[in-house]
Amino acid sequence: MADKNDGSYYMGNENLPNRNWKGEYTPEKIAALKKAKKNILYFAENFFYIVSLDHGKQKIKLYPAQKRALRNMRDNRFYILLASRQIGKSTLMTIYLLWQACFQKDQRILLVANKEATAIEIFSRVRMAYEELPNWLKPPVKEYAKTSMTLENGSRIGITTTTGTAARGQSVNCLVIDEMAFIENHLVDEFWKSVYPIISSSKKSKAFICSTANGTQNLFYKIYNEAETNPDSAWDCGKIMWNEVPGRDEKWAADTKASIGSEEAWRQEFCCEWINSGESSLDDELYEKMEQTICDPKVVLDDGCYKIWEEADSSRIYAAGVDTAEGVGKDSSVVQVLDVTDPAEVRQVAVYKNNKISPLEFSNKVHQILRNYGSPLALIERNNCGAQVVDRLLHDMGYPKLVSYGNAKAHRKNRMYGMIAHTNTKHKGIMNMRYWMNDLHSIVMRDQETLDEFRDFVRYPNGTWKAQKGKHDDMVMAIMYGYYVLDNDIAEQYFEIIEKDDTGRPKIIEPMDFGLQLFEDPTSIYNNENMAGGSPDLNPVYWGMSDGTETEMGDDYYDLLEAGFTPL
């Protein structure tokens, strides 16, 4: 056994040979060394050690998705990896950079993380993996520290964060950035501006980025989206989903969802979905586009509560979303009427908003507005006060087109009309709305108040969407319910879907025959009210005629004649 104090080892560590180390090289070792240099997968599976929570220190066993990613890193100068949590993406980066350092001379390799502690932790894996390599396979150590190591072949591995200056003005042969989507934008943008030109100016320098998704308002999303959609992009991209890891099945997924407690967090962190994590639900570009279509309504009724931009057209398909409040001057009861004839261009045609109307009165108002637009499909949240509106429309007024949705997920045995709103149905509804609005820009917004509410509608750290503190989201929720009719689960029940788009959502729809459409003039009853000066629900009064003359009709009869009334 070699003496670790004979000057052949760095700091006396027998796993860190220095330039004085002398070893025997058998033909088998030479063949293995050559093969490891040429084949990164052979190098990883035969010599790279990791620490497993279940089994301790062991050689890594790569699964197919990891092999695919390593090949892409080997074969591309610029590679970006979008990956589910806990798939070993940081390990993949350390495998590559250690392989590069060991078998390529004079490499300047820089590992970047969002926090110094994270960078040090990842580098500790590199150190452990290097120390576990057989001495005959690895270049001797020249310098060995907590944040960097230099080998006798001239290669150096260092770490930094985007707040450091380690990369400023230096040459870098290989740049590796871990969890880029979670680095603050103002930090990573400045870092990228200073480092990337150095990488791109060289013909051989490489850059690799990996991260879990974290919304669309960051540099990671911009680079990945460009790589995925632009054939001329310099970047190659890859993705590893949760179910590509051996042993992960639906039970594992269900248990993980339960432990996370948020459907949205699951979809983003494990299903690689781009969920906007910015403060507002609208980015600046979409807000500006919506603002261009804002205009004054053609008709304003009910002291400004009922606004109409487009009067009903019997050739169009309408849908209504309804959100009910208590009517005590806080939250508002809202009806949003949408023209969904063309799902790619949904038009906001009418809005009713009132924070002082009781649910009982609101039921009458909803019925009247729906009749104005030919009794369209209506989705009404039935939680709390909404149940009264749904039940009155269904049982007292016989309204034929009320959506029933969410009963099964709410574990209700009896079919209940309206939408049973809970965490899953609301999340699904908001994601559906954001697809049509944010991804397709389908909405033609008319109402400034609605647009303002969208600006204040934000995603909170726990993954839920709601209004900022002190703001309201009643108009947003009503739009969400209106858009919900285009979700496949509902659309397939109430529309004939003639054609679907690339995502499987309705592209061309036709209404099913639910009975005759009757369009009532929305202004008629208000005109009567103005003329009579009283309630539109005033019933006619009949007087008897004792002798067939007008002599016994009384003063009220003559007062009405003078007011302009004509007797029947």
Helix (H, G, I), strand (E, B) or coil at 439: helix
For 102-128, b where at least 16 C-beta lie within 10 A, e where not — what string? bbbeebbbbbbbbeeebbeebbebbbe
Of the pLDDT bands very low, low, confident and very high (cuts 50, 70, 90), residue 277 is very low
Question: E-strand spans in 32-128?
Answer: 49-52, 56-59, 78-83, 108-113
pLDDT for position 539: 47
Which tokens is 394 given?
Answer: 């269904």
Q: For residues 475 and 481, give the distance between their C-alpha atoms in angstroms, rounded to a whole number.
A: 10
- Pairing mode of beta strands 333-339, 346-354: antiparallel
Q: Is the pLDDT of residue 79 over 50?
A: yes
User: What is the average pLDDT across 438-461?
Assistant: 87
What is the model's pLDDT at position 528? 42
The separation between the first and the last C-alpha atoms of the chain, rounded to the nearest angstrom, is 122
Beta pairing, strands 299-301 & 306-308: antiparallel
Q: One-letter amino acid identity for 182?
A: F
Residue 301, helix vs strand vs coil:
strand
What's the burial of 432, exposed, middle or buried (CB within 10 Å: 0-12/13-18/19+)?
buried
Contacts of residue 497, defined as CB under 8 A and 6 or more positions apart, other chains included, come to: 491, 506, 508, 509
Selection from 165, 141, 444, 139 nearest residue 289 by Cα = 444
Res. 86 pLDDT band, cuts 50 70 90: confident
Q: For the chain, how many helices (H) and strands (E)? A: 18, 23
% residues pLDDT > 90 (the chain): 47
**Better pLDDT: 44 or 203:** 44
Element (H, E) at 67: helix 64-75
pTM value is 0.52
The architecture in CATH of the region 284-511 reads 2-Layer Sandwich (3.30)
CB 329 within 8 A of CB 355: yes
The domain locations on the chain are 16-269, 284-511, 538-562
Q: What is the pLDDT of residue 407?
A: 66
Model confidence at 420, in pLDDT bands (50, 70, 90)? Answer: confident
Q: What is the DSSP letter of 438?
A: I
The pLDDT of residue 558 is 64
CATH class of 16-269: alpha beta
Instruction: Report whether pLDDT(537) > 50.
Output: no
* Residue 27, both tokens: 């033909």
pLDDT band at 391 (very low <50, low <70, confident <90, very high): very high
Which among 243, 368, 257, 262 is positioned nearest to 312, based on CA atoms?
A: 368
**Does residue 190 sit in helix, strand or coil?**
helix
Identify the residue whose tokens are 């980015």: 283
Mean pLDDT for the stretch of residues 410-421: 66
| Number of Cβ within a 10 Å radius of residue 146 | 10
Q: Give, as one character, the DSSP assignment of residue 139.
A: P
Half-sphere exposure of 262 (CA within 13 A, CB side): 13
